[in-house]
Amino acid sequence: MPRGGKKGHKGRGKQFSNPEEIDRQMRAEREKELNGGAEPESSSESEEESSDEDNAHQKRKGVEGLIEIENPNRVSQKSKKVAELDVSAPKELSRREREEIEKQRAKERYMKLHLEGKTEQARADLARLAIIKKQREDAARKRDELRKEKEAEEAKSKR
């Protein structure tokens, strides 16, 4: 059965353009716009200059040509010279870095107080440990008593 069922396949097979062909067409169109239809220059330097001019002299749409608007969110990266950099100046920390440092300090401070037994959790832990210690001592004492009783019974039975 054909691809489209009983009626057959609709549409044509897909044809893909060659990337070199697309590049060549784009260059030809750009050169046409720049030179006003004159002969395109073939030197590589002129192509670089024309691409720079392209960006500068692009046709502006709507009121862009009338009003100069600069996007405050779009900041161009300014490179600094090595001589201008001040290595000795303290580096400003970001909010996340500051919060991370504060978090670590708070954790260290809490652990120190916890080891000294001054926090609520440490007091609760110590109370729980004391109860467990007492229970274990009682259990050990009972085991000793039972063992002594068994030994006394075994001694009586052997006599």
Asked whether 120 and 128 are in contact (CB, 8 A), the reply is no
Asked whether 121 and 114 are in contact (CB, 8 A), the reply is yes
* pLDDT confidence bin for 144, thresholds 50/70/90: very high
* Separation CA 34–CA 57 (nearest Å): 9
> 21 or 43: which carries more pLDDT confidence?
21
- Over residues 33-64, the pLDDT tens digits come to 888 755 544 444 455 555 555 555 566 666 66
Q: Give the other-Cβ count within 10 Å of 53's Cβ.
A: 12
- Over residues 78-87, the pLDDT tens digits come to 777 777 777 7
* Separation CA 71–CA 80 (nearest Å): 22
- Residue 40's pLDDT is 45
Domain boundaries, the chain: 19-55, 95-158
Percent residues over pLDDT 70 in the chain: 70
CB pairs under 8 A, 24+ apart, for 4-13? Answer: none
pTM: 0.34
Q: Is the pLDDT of residue 100 over 90?
A: yes
- Residue 136's pLDDT is 97
Produce one character per residue of 125-154: b if its CB has 16 or more CB atoms within 10 Å, e if not. Answer: eeeeeeeeeeeeeeeeeeeeeeeeeeeeee
Return phi, psi of residue 4, to 5°.
-90, 10
